[in-house]
Structures are given as C-alpha cells and as structure tokens.
Amino acid sequence: SSFSWADDRAWAAQTIERNGKYYWYICAHSKLTGGMAIGVAVADSPTGPFKDALGKPLFDNGSWDNIDPTVWMDEDGQAYLYWGNPHLYYAKLNKDMISLDGSITALDIKDQTAFVGRFTEAPWVYKRNNLYYMIYAAEFPESIHYSTGQTAEGPWKAEGVVMPLEKGSNTNHPGIIDYKGN
C-alpha cells in the first residue's frame, strides 16, 4: 500500500542510509506493466515511516526478472543496485539514491568461471580486504554460492558454495555484514 503503482508480491526489501536519509528498495508486482518492478521509498529513520520517493517504479520493464533488489555503497560513495531472477542485473545509482546513473548491465550468469551453480536470485555484495564478494542463491531448491571480483562491477570469478542444499529449504537469501569488527 506504500506504493500506488504496486498491487501484489512485495519481496526481499533492503534499506541503506545515505546523508541522514534511509532508502528502502523493494520489488513488487507492477499494475502498470504486469511484471515485477523495483521501487524506492525514503524516510528519516530506519523504521520509517517510508514514503514512495518517485510515485512510480525506479525500474519497470514488464519483466518478472526484477526481484530481490540489493543496494551497496563503495568507499568512494558510488552506490550500486543489483537484482534479478533468473538473470542478474546491476546499475549505478546517482547520489540522490532515487535515480539510475547510466545504463543497466546484465551479467553473464551462465559463465561457470564467473558464477558457480546457476544464479537464481538474491544477490548480495560485500567487500573485505579490497576484494568484492557476490553471494547469491543458486539452482532450485537453492543453495548459497559466491563469486569474487576486483571491482563492484566485476569481472566475477566463481569461488564456491557457502551453504549446500538443505532439505526442505526451497528459497534462501544470503547476506553478509561487518559487526563489531567481525
């Protein structure tokens, strides 16, 4: 109900702070195109209340690929938005966090040297010791795999499995954060 253009299926949201504002990226079924779309809302607090920042989707091309948005900001302040199922996409975000900076890039998820297993959904980017990690759900039922790269844009190198397939767990979404230096 927070997004007038959406009517169903709000999945896998993520919030990030920039300049004292909190940006909440969601995917939802678009009543404009009939596919899934990426939306963004903004608030002064991580608990809201959030308001649709645009009054329309940030990205909506009528595809069902547009799910599971994740947003990540590099040390230089460049923010990236990643999403997808079963194709993986990313775009740079402008400093306003509610508009795309340039074109959308589709990553070659079939390249086994870049992505072990078949990328399915739920991308998450993390950086540690100057190495970028793309962690994601693969296959179905889903296991969790990861790839590494020298930049947030890749190229990505397949590394392995973080969590093998677990019985009865059809959908898994990964996330990695730093907490108290760990």
Q: What is the pLDDT of residues 114-166, one digit of tens each?
A: 777 788 999 999 999 999 999 999 988 899 999 999 999 999 999 999 999 87
Residues 6+ apart with CB under 8 A from 57: 5, 30, 32, 37, 38, 39
- Residue 112's SS3 state is coil
For the chain, percent of residues with pLDDT exceeding 70: 99
d(CA 116, CA 137): 10
Residue pair 119/109 in contact by the 8 Å Cβ criterion: yes
Query: What is the spatial order of strands in the sheet that 70-73 belongs to?
Result: 70-73, 79-83, 88-93, 105-107
Q: Is the confidence at residue 168, as pLDDT, over 90?
A: no
Q: Which residues pair with 85 in a beta bridge?
A: none
* C-alpha to C-alpha distances, 73 to 52, 70, 76, 163, 170, nearest whole angstrom: 21, 10, 8, 25, 29
Residue pair 3/28 in contact by the 8 Å Cβ criterion: yes
Q: Which residues pair with 29 in a beta bridge?
A: 8, 36
pLDDT band of 84, cuts 50, 70, 90: very high
Q: 130: left (phi > 0), else alpha (psi -120 to 50), else beta?
A: left
Q: What is the pLDDT of residues 21-30, one digit of tens each?
A: 999 999 999 9
